[in-house]
Chains A and B, each alone.
Chain A
Amino acid sequence: MSAADLGVVVAALLTLAVFSFLYRDNPFYRFAESLLVGVSAGYYVVHYFDAGVVRKFWVPVVQQGQLWLLPGGVLGLLMLARLHPRGQWISRFAIAFYVAAWSGYLIPSVLQERILRQVAGTFLPAAGTTSVGALLAAVLVLLGVAAILVYFYFSAEHRGLLGAASRVGILFLMVGFGASFGYTVMGRLSLLIGRFQFLLQDLPASLRHISH
């Protein structure tokens, strides 16, 4: 019996223990849930420590003498001050640095790539397209965006033309929510299919290996 086959059997038993919750809460489910939390915590602590502290700090600073990385390490240590109630304020220096850095490289990039490029993309297909279908789709996108923006315009009462455009905006929103829901169903079912593939295909193969 190989360790891999044994692992498959254990994973199958744990999968069934989690599925048992669909009937009702029970000790098998709670055991599997606690095990997942414990194993995950151990796994992540080790990986984060290795990747963050050992590889990014200890090796370059202590072993290779790259002292210019030291201030980053000190900021990281300041974060640990959050663990003590009286020293929590110290961690704010590190948080402030992190927020400032994130804002600095996120805000201009997001403005450019997620807003300006997307606004341009609302119009561009109509400019470059030649087929009637693509042109209609581009017009539909443009109308949809405009109608939804009207729906979220709250500085005037939604009556008359504004009200009509707002109702069209709701229709587009509903289509968007529907597509999102459909994809969500597909995603959740994929996870279930993955587990069933494991139980119906991988598990029997491992059981055959073990029995031989």
Chain B
Amino acid sequence: MARGAWSARLAQGDRRILFLAVAATVAFPLLWPLNLPIRVSREARAFHAEIEGVEPGRVILLSFDYEPDTMAELDPMSLAVLRHAFRRGVRVLVMTTYAGGVGIAERVLAQAAAENGRTYGTDYAFLGYNPDFSATILRMGESLRGAYPTDHYGHPTGELSLLQGVDRYADIPLVVTISSSALSEYWVIWAGGKYHARIVAGNTAIQAVLIYPFLQTGQLAGMLGGLKGAAEYERLIGRDGAGVRGMDAQSLAHFLIVLFILLGNLGFLLQRRAARAREASP
């Protein structure tokens, strides 16, 4: 009887206790960092090498393909990529395929530009949001100024010094998509497949598993996956940020989740055994 009650508690315990345990596990390392080691993956190194390989003064395209719901995972990535590019003197053209990405892109861009003393129009520009990502990605292969006649603030793109001599993917050595959805795939399909743009992608953890095949075939030149990918990139550029700060909490919480899975399954097995024993007894 006692064992049955114990196993039932394991299998059907109060969820709120689990929520509290997760909250405590996440909060503890944020308040008292453990500095657990972070191993940098091959795909993150490839991503880093792509930005490192762009000549200073050239213009890369960075698309904020996410909205506030995934900021926690992707903001650290975007910020790290911008810091890396600006530090190297690479100029950045920024856009978003989501209306909800406008405010995010403006905030992250302003922070990275201010830290590195970059000037709008010369070192970076924000094209803003365009409806219909498919038409936008395709049109930019023919004419960037055709897709975006003005930037987000209404300046004609043809007058931006950043865009002198830059009007299509062929003029851009690298396209960076930081995405929470299948947008990375569409960049691969249209910008990469049709216009042969070189692409690297940063994705949410959930999306990353679907993006790996494109890395294997070389359709993507590099990839960052989730907060872990952001932390790896921060380590590669030698500037820790929200990604690295969050990794202790991530690691501890993963241990806790594994423990919950083991306990839940143990409870389930004990309950099943107890039920079988009851059926077998006369």
Contact = CB atoms under 8 A, between A and B. Distances in A.
B266 interface: no
B256 to A, nearest CB: 10
A189 B253 contact: yes
A174 to B, nearest CB: 14
Given A191-B72, A194-B73, A51 B129 contact: yes
Interface in B182-236: 185, 188-190, 192-194, 204-206, 208-209, 213, 216-219, 225-228
A189 B193 contact: no
Interface size bucket, B side?
Answer: 35 or more
B134 A189 contact: no
Contacts of B250: 186, 189-190, 193
B205 A190 contact: yes
A24 to B, nearest CB: 9
Given A113-B192, A121-B213, A196-B249, A186 B72 contact: no
Contacts of A191: 69-70, 72-73
A117 B209 CA distance: 18
Interface string B148-164: 01100000000000000
Interface stretch (B25-33, B82-90, B115-123, B273-281): B25-33
Contacts of A110: 189
A180 B208 CA distance: 9
A48 interface: yes
Given A125-B216, A186-B250, A193-B246, A105 B209 contact: no
State the majority secondary structure of interface residues on A: helix
B72 A120 contact: no
B246 A48 contact: no
Nearest to B248: A193
A120 B217 contact: yes
B23 to A, nearest CB: 8
Contact of B217 (A43, A55, A60, A124): A124
Nearest to A45: B99
Interface of B: 16, 19, 22-23, 26-27, 30-31, 69-73, 99-100, 102, 128-131, 134, 138, 149-150, 185, 188-190, 192-194, 204-206, 208-209, 213, 216-219, 225-228, 242, 245-246, 249-250, 253-254, 257
The 7 A-B residue pairs with the shortest CB-CB distance, nearest first, are: A194-B72, A121-B217, A187-B205, A47-B99, A113-B193, A190-B227, A186-B205
28 contacts: A48-B131, A51-B99, A51-B130, A102-B134, A106-B189, A109-B193, A110-B189, A113-B192, A113-B193, A117-B193, A117-B217, A121-B213, A121-B216, A183-B206, A183-B225, A186-B250, A187-B205, A187-B226, A189-B249, A190-B72, A190-B73, A193-B30, A193-B72, A193-B246, A193-B253, A196-B23, A196-B30, A197-B246
